[in-house]
Amino acid sequence: MTKFIFVTGGVVSSLGKGIAASSLGALLQARGYSVRLRKLDPYLNVDPGTMSPLQHGEVYVTEDGTETDLDLGHYERFTGVCAHASDSTTTGKIYSTVLTKERRGDYLGATIQVVPHIIDEIKAFITAGLTGEDFIICEIGGTVGDIEGLPFLEAIRQLSNDLGRENTLFVHLTLLPYIAAAGELKTKPTQHSVKELLSFGIQPDILLCRSDRPISQEAKQKLGLFCNVRPERVIEAQDIDTIYQVPVSYHQEGLDLQVCRYFGLEAKENLDLSKWHTVADRIRHPDGQVNIAIVGKYVQLLDAYKSLSEALIHAGIANNVHVKLHWLDAADAGNFQDGLAGMQGILVPGGFGERGIEGKLRAIRIAREKKIPYLGICLGMQLAVIEAARNLAGLTEASSTEFGPTLDPIVGMMTEWMDGKMLHQRSQEGDLGGTMRLGAYPCDIKEGSLAHKIYGATSIYERHRHRYEVNMTYHDRLESVGLHFTGLSPDRQLPEIIERQDHPWFVGVQFHPELKSRPFDPHPLFVSFVAAAIHQERLV
Ligand code: GLN
């Protein structure tokens, strides 16, 4: 029977529950078990799709086109298991489902209440659509004690009763702060957090304790005593220089061993974690450095570009270099020439809205003219097309309808497109949550192109998240100024990849390749981009 592990967080937010859950997943996989990770977010948005990246961080898009929390990116990167729509929910989504059922009359006249209706919907989400996984690891967003989180805690409490304590395990991630004046790590906040959990009827089985230094045996004993947890199940989670070392470090502290013992599963002592060691070793001992500028508009919160930074780290691992990222604010009117000095590669990532557009266009022009390797992702591709149209094809008014009405809508909103045999339609007036091309779509690659060389394939699937498309009407004019359309949707309507052949490495992609990059399977576009950056000699 599938075992359920619930991961909650206490004391403060941002302790890295997502990495903790992912690392546990990776360790259980290393023990030969199949895992699936799920995330429950307490906020009221139906999904994070409409939330500002500056508040919420990146919106991670799954293969099936669900907009989810960035933690799902960690899950995929650590376990290699593709997430689905059924692996992510929010309070908003749960309420929305319940209210739709209520309007349909599904509840046969009953009074709809948080208990049982909302709680039952959460329980149904956690246990739905299983395909024989050994473990479901469920991360509860937020911090224990948040008002919004209560229904989730009630749901997992009930589930542990329904499924049996022998099939459910509670991991509580907390913080032991170091108080310099006392010269010690403090256990009291954790004790209080556990007390709070107990008040909801949840006794944690494992405490995973973040700290900036080793936790003494004495502190573990104390936590064990006051929190009613065996001392060997008080696991140290010390700060570490790379997230890809976390599974190894948790293993050394006995996390996976304790999980197996809890469930009465056989647990061999020696696990093969060599691939994790190799990745961490490559990150720690690179053979040099390469400087990449990222010209974006959400650079005040780097979580907004989580998958992107990780994909570049993976490409660094593959090329055996440290990829030093230089974040440049596109909206900052400052001198780009200065910011780009010494850069070996320029990347314009995805984004929405008009702010910062001129800065990005300037950076793209510099990359094109100075022959600096350039990678444009989604908006970064659309802007590369606009830049060529304006500065090479003489279409000075060229723009995207996203930024307002324009005489030359080089980029415009598509209202219909095909996905296989299915016609997708969206309306200009549709609500923001439902008007994007989302998830994996096929792209045909032109033989002999740089993209073909990079992918080693003529047909690929990549994940999308955008409303606007490069307008095929301008195809010939753009090709005539050296901007080649080397990747197209199978029906030839939607440009997916553009590149320049008069440039050492200039590629724009309408999709988000960063979403599919993994530490053990780095994305070829990033690997090739970083390699080009290493080997080019022209600096700004
Ligand atoms: N804003 C652009 C669009 O919606 C690009 C989106 C993106 O970069 N993800 O098409």
Interatomic CA distance for residues 72 and 301, integer angstroms: 18
The reply to whether ligand 1 has any atom less than 6 angstroms from the CB of 463 is: no
| For ligand 1, atom 6: residue with the closest CA | 466
* Alpha helices (runs of H) in 392-517, residue ranges in sequence order: 450-455, 475-479
The reply to whether ligand 1 has any atom less than 6 angstroms from the CB of 351 is: yes
Residue from 157, 187, 151, 153 nearest 9 by CA: 153
Interatomic CA distance for residues 51 and 301, integer angstroms: 14
Contact in structure between 287 and 322 (CB atoms under 8 Å): no
pLDDT digits (tens, 9 = 90+) for 483-508: 999 999 999 999 999 999 999 999 99
What pTM does this model have? 0.93
pLDDT digits (tens, 9 = 90+) for 104-156: 999 999 999 999 999 999 999 999 999 999 999 999 999 999 999 999 999 99
Compute the distance from residue 308 Cα to the ligand 1 centre, in Å. Answer: 15
Interatomic CA distance for residues 66 and 80, integer angstroms: 17
In three-state secondary structure terms, 69 is coil
The token pair that represents 106 in the structure block: 């599904």
Residue 403: count other Cβ atoms within 10 Å of its Cβ.
14
The token pair that represents 272 in the structure block: 């093969």
List of domains in the chain: 3-38+114-279 (3.40.50.300), 288-534 (3.40.50.880)
Burial of 407 (0-12, 13-18, 19+ CB in 10 A): exposed
pLDDT grade for 436, boundaries at 50, 70 and 90: confident
Q: Among all residues, which ones are annotated catalytic? A: 378, 512, 514
Radius of gyration of the chain (CA): 25
In three-state secondary structure terms, 517 is coil
* Cβ neighbours for 363, distance < 8 A, ≥ 6 positions apart: 293, 295, 328, 330, 336, 340, 346, 348
**Per-residue model confidence (pLDDT) at position 197:** 97
**Per-residue model confidence (pLDDT) at position 413:** 83
**Per-residue model confidence (pLDDT) at position 338:** 76
Contact in structure between 372 and 346 (CB atoms under 8 Å): yes
Average pLDDT over residues 421-449: 77
Residue with tokens 């919420």: 56
Q: Which atom of ligand 1 is nearest to the CA of 349?
A: 8
* Cβ neighbours for 296, distance < 8 A, ≥ 6 positions apart: 304, 305, 327, 328, 329, 330, 348, 349, 351, 356
Compute the distance from residue 379 Cα to the ligand 1 centre, in Å. Answer: 5
Interatomic CA distance for residues 64 and 72, integer angstroms: 13
The reply to whether ligand 1 has any atom less than 6 angstroms from the CB of 305 is: no
Residue 421: count other Cβ atoms within 10 Å of its Cβ.
5
The reply to whether ligand 1 has any atom less than 6 angstroms from the CB of 61 is: no
Residue from 272, 269, 259, 273 nearest 134 by CA: 259
| For ligand 1, atom 8: residue with the closest CA | 350
Rounded to the nearest 10°, the torsion over CA 93, 96, 101, 102 is 140
The reply to whether ligand 1 has any atom less than 6 angstroms from the CB of 350 is: yes
**Per-residue model confidence (pLDDT) at position 179:** 94
